[in-house]
Structure 1
Amino acid sequence: MIEGDLVISADFGTSGVKVGVVDSSLTILARVTAAYPLNLAPGGIAEQNPTDWWEALAQALHALHQELPELKSRAAALVFSSQLLGLVCCAEDGTPLRPCLTWLDKRAAPLGKKLVGGFPEIHGYNAPRLARWLRIANGAPAKNGMDPTAKMLWFMQQEPDIYAKTRWMVDVKDWLVHRATGTMTTCPESANLTWVMDTRLGREGWSETLCALTGINQSKLAPITQADTVVGPLTPQAATDLGLRANVQVLAGTSDAMASTLGSGEVADGALHVSVATSAWIAGFFPNRRLSVAHSYATVTSGLNFRPLLIASQENAGSALDWVAAITGGGEHPYADIGTPQPDDPLFLPWLAGERVPVDNDRLRGTFHGLSLHHDAAALRRAAIEGVALNLRWAMSKVAREKGAQTSGTLSITGGLAANPAFAQTLSDALGRNVRVCAARHAGMLGTATLAAPLMGWADSVTGAAARLKSRSSATYTPDPERSDALTHRAHSLDKIRRHTIRSYT
């Protein structure tokens, strides 16, 4: 019997956690963001301390208790979503043995290339091994070392003492659920992206064949659990940390990609949405597995009855805009007044941390092309916004070829960058489509909350609850025909620059 009428939804991103209290109408009654550090260092290092995530959650809950004094008596469920592709090495009791290698960590890139490469090759992959991966997992480890596969191998080779003490190798959300309940699980999306999971219909689970192929120890991998499964109540210690009752039910939770999809309300097959935050991705559910080896995207097996979820990720979006703002002295609102686009504005490739879709190459680096003495800070910021939008157009041109993909009508966008009017309008102009801004910064939080809707009696299904969110918009944008034509011309120029730039890094 569920006691309480509210759900606490926590969406863990790269720089902080967004925690909201959600009611039966899927309205956020109160929300708080708590930050945590990201350690970036030369050599591709990008680490976080798992305890920082938990302490940020506790800090956010403390603030929410002040805003909603009745929260402790009314909270019935706690649901997490998080960034993907992290790797936490834990002891038997869940204690982290070292900082987490986050999705941004690329130090394992040489191991990633070695794992997948070798004669005879196709697109940098050994053909026989690639065929096995594609048949079983519907994909293969990325060459850039960002997937957990290469990170696990890195631990085996570079930190063997840590690896020997490791009982569990899990993703970010998995560790959080364990900290809350004492039970270790993993979601299908995280499992799929280790590339040792069998994703074939009716065979979903860890693959002995792929574990043997990669050398990954299956016994160190957590049980794969559906997103809306109740894992258990809070442990007494977790309840004390968070100021909640111990009978609050904790669900298995999901990835940020699926949370964003649910939060966008785009739950029909082929309905795509775009999430733009630190990074960016195009995502949507499909009725069966999809894969593009040439353009480095695929469906992953989601935590909703293993339903295929296409994810086409790009490494740089808000991170690139933040960088440009920092080097141009943009102040508190650097993109609020950037002037009118000019025909000779520079062109920008936002590959500041490599790229993944539609070209998987961690060595790619960004550039401004066509700079002149008269270009000022505003011109660079205009170019940055345009460059991120046209980079997404480039990826969308590949994904849109998938059978059943919806390529017309209004496109839903989520994520912090979606709240930037200049960017949202530029994306509408670049794609030639109406753009609907969903809950922007809070779509992931709302999507995460829908996982608890059946448990709470708010809806018959998770997707039924999520579909209700499609009617909510914070803003809509219509493409300007003249600007769309100009961006199409500039996109053609960028196509030529991309080809030459990519060739220089191969």
Structure 2
Amino acid sequence: MGDLVIAADFGTSGVKVGVVDSSLTVLARVTETYPLSLASGGMAEQTPEDWWGALAHALAALRRDVPDLSKRASALIFSSQLLGLICCDENGTPLRPCLTWLDKRAAPLGQKLIGGFPEVLGYNIPRLAKWLRIANGAPAKNGMDPTAKMLWVMQQEPEIYARTRWMLDVKDWLIHRATGEFTTSPESANLSWVMDTRQGREGWSDTLCALTGIDRSKLAPITQADAVVGPLTAQAAAELGLPPEVQVLGGTSDVMASALGSGEVADGALHISIATSAWIAGFFPNRRLSVPHSYATVSTGLDFRPLLIASQENAGSALDWVCGVTGGGAVDTGFDDLGAPQADDPFFLPWLAGERVPVDNDSLRGTFHGLSLHHDGAAMRRAAIEGVALNLRWAMSKVQREKGVQTSGALSIVGGVAANPIFAQTLADALNRDIRVCSARHAGMLGTATLAAPFMSWAPTVTDAAATLKLRSSAFYSPNPDRADALAARAEKLDKIRRRLIRSYT
């Protein structure tokens, strides 16, 4: 057996692939991009073969960096974006492009599924009670969950649905492409809202399948993240340039990969991931749920251990947009040299694609509030950095009320935006809390690699391996008292603006 693992973290815009050794050191890494097709009506699709092609290209580059990779690689592990839907035939061939997590065209169907008199917060009360009891949550109103996407294919593309043998998430298809096996993760199953997540009963729920009309026979077996699914097929091995003896593990979602990569694996220890979107997450000893604020724990591939996820739609995507429209250039450099914050800087609400936590409302839209003639692009970019940070403060104000949450000590952050020192300092000021930046751009990849630790005899458990990553901070930020006070005052004003805006969209 070789001494290296290959971890591939598939995001919305590209895949990060790394070669990792027993000390969880990345020996080489490559990022390959792939297209995302956007269109009116909420369409956001990707071609699955583009993911596979990007993986093959990345591995070709890694073999140049690590010449003996083919001899030393022992395991291949995937993590990926969640909430996708790939309709496949019996051979695993996609019958149409993937409806990605960003796809919202099914929102009306999703709202019809969950709504109806008697209602509370837009949910039919008897159906909601059933979902909460069995699944610890319910489909979102914005149509982004697989539940609504499956119904959309049933109704809008019945010929595709009739030919569909398997309905898979992104990682599920990648594992099939690599091994020929059909599997899914507990996270993907949970967020399809037809899984029983009660302790000791974890698995597909006939009751919830009947409630939604989803055919259970089209759902893949649920597999643990660190389980060995099988070796590479001969075709996959040839395409990837790896020996067929390389074992493929069950893998996980980007959310759990980031949690492992942050090193925050103790119960109640939160971290924040800030990339295209953002989320606050942390492991808990039991299920948690907040219906009013639209977050909950999901069952993970670590023996169904609950992971709280409070997801916000807009973070890096909003910063990138503001950079583009104000002539700031690329997001990595567009927030440099902005000048000191001013007392009359505008407020920015980054809801460019709606919001989920702590208010689930797909109709919300981004806003600059308080613009004046003297404000320039730099002022708007300052407002954007502050707006994303205060949006996370808004979500954190709800999540930190959960019993057992660790509210003291440094808060770990990961994701591409976390690497931006201006944003990291602003977040420290906005939360009035020390911030520890972990392996910002590659936490997901490293977290994915920890899944191989027991298989490779690197550590007794996945969490034992992941805990060592907490010690690898790349930067540390303490709140500036004056700026923290100023942001607290601005947050108070923003709360009033936010409430009025939400009412205007409701």
Unaligned ranges ≥5, structure 2: none
Distance 2:61 2:259 in 1: 28
- Matching residue of 1:141: 139
> How much does 1:495 deviate?
0.6
- Matching residue of 1:110: 108
- Matching residue of 1:297: 295
Find the partner of 1:263 among 261, 264, 279.
261
Deviations 1:347-382 (CA, angstroms, capped at 9, x unpaired): 000000000000001110010000000001000000
Give the letter aligned to residue 374 of structure 1. Answer: H
Give the letter aligned to residue 460 of structure 2. Answer: D
Deviations 1:28-55 (CA, angstroms, capped at 9, x unpaired): 0000000000001000000000000000
- SS of the residue 1:191 aligns to: helix
> How much does 1:331 deviate?
2.0
> How much does 1:409 deviate?
1.0
- Matching residue of 2:421: 421
- Matching residue of 1:155: 153
- Matching residue of 2:384: 384
Q: TM-score, normalised by structure 1?
A: 0.99
- Matching residue of 1:478: 478
Runs of 4+ in 1 over 6 A off after TM superposition: none
- Matching residue of 1:491: 491
Distance 1:402 1:170 in 2: 32
Deviations 1:2-31 (CA, angstroms, capped at 9, x unpaired): x10000000000000000000000000000
Distance 2:84 2:343 in 1: 42
Distance 1:379 1:302 in 2: 42
- SS of the residue 1:454 aligns to: coil
- Matching residue of 2:397: 397
- SS of the residue 1:455 aligns to: coil
- Matching residue of 2:91: 93
- Matching residue of 2:441: 441
Distance 2:71 2:336 in 1: 42
Distance 1:249 1:310 in 2: 30
Find the partner of 2:71 among 67, 70, 73.
73
Q: How does 1:347-386 map to 2 (within 5 A)?
A: 347-386=347-386
Corresponding position: 1:336 with 2:336 = yes
Give the letter aligned to residue 438 of structure 1. Answer: C
Distance 2:43 2:500 in 1: 28
Q: TM-score, normalised by structure 2?
A: 0.99
- Matching residue of 2:166: 168
> How much does 1:408 deviate?
1.5
Distance 2:57 2:133 in 1: 45
Give the letter aligned to residue 385 of structure 2. Answer: I
- SS of the residue 2:454 aligns to: helix
Corresponding position: 1:504 with 2:504 = yes
Deviations 1:97-125 (CA, angstroms, capped at 9, x unpaired): 00000000000000111000011111110
> How much does 1:329 deviate?
1.1
> How much does 1:336 deviate?
1.6
> How much does 1:257 deviate?
0.3
- SS of the residue 1:85 aligns to: coil
- SS of the residue 1:21 aligns to: strand
Deviations 1:211-244 (CA, angstroms, capped at 9, x unpaired): 0000000000000000000000000000011100
> How much does 1:330 deviate?
1.1
- SS of the residue 1:453 aligns to: coil
Corresponding position: 1:192 with 2:196 = no
Distance 1:11 1:243 in 2: 18
Distance 1:415 1:384 in 2: 17
- Matching residue of 1:406: 406
Distance 1:487 1:168 in 2: 49
- Matching residue of 1:24: 22
Give the letter aligned to residue 191 of structure 1. Answer: A
Distance 1:84 1:329 in 2: 32
- SS of the residue 2:44 aligns to: strand
Give the letter aligned to residue 490 of structure 1. Answer: R
Q: How does 1:203-282 map to 2 (within 5 A)?
A: 203-282=201-280
Distance 1:49 1:504 in 2: 37
Distance 1:371 1:408 in 2: 36
- SS of the residue 1:500 aligns to: helix
Give the letter aligned to residue 61 of structure 1. Answer: L
For this pair of structures, how many residues does the alignment match? 504
- Matching residue of 1:310: 308
- Matching residue of 1:47: 45
Deviations 1:384-431 (CA, angstroms, capped at 9, x unpaired): 000000000000000000000111110000000000000000000000
Give the letter aligned to residue 452 of structure 2. Answer: A
Deviations 1:417-475 (CA, angstroms, capped at 9, x unpaired): 00000000000000000000000000000000000000001000000000000100110
Percent of counterpart pairs with the same letter? 79
> How much does 1:504 deviate?
0.8
- SS of the residue 1:241 aligns to: helix
CA RMSD of aligned residues (A): 0.5
Deviations 1:131-187 (CA, angstroms, capped at 9, x unpaired): 000000000000100000000000000000000000000100000000000001000
- SS of the residue 2:441 aligns to: helix
Corresponding position: 1:456 with 2:429 = no
- Matching residue of 1:180: 178
Unaligned ranges ≥5, structure 1: none
Give the letter aligned to residue 134 of structure 2. Answer: I
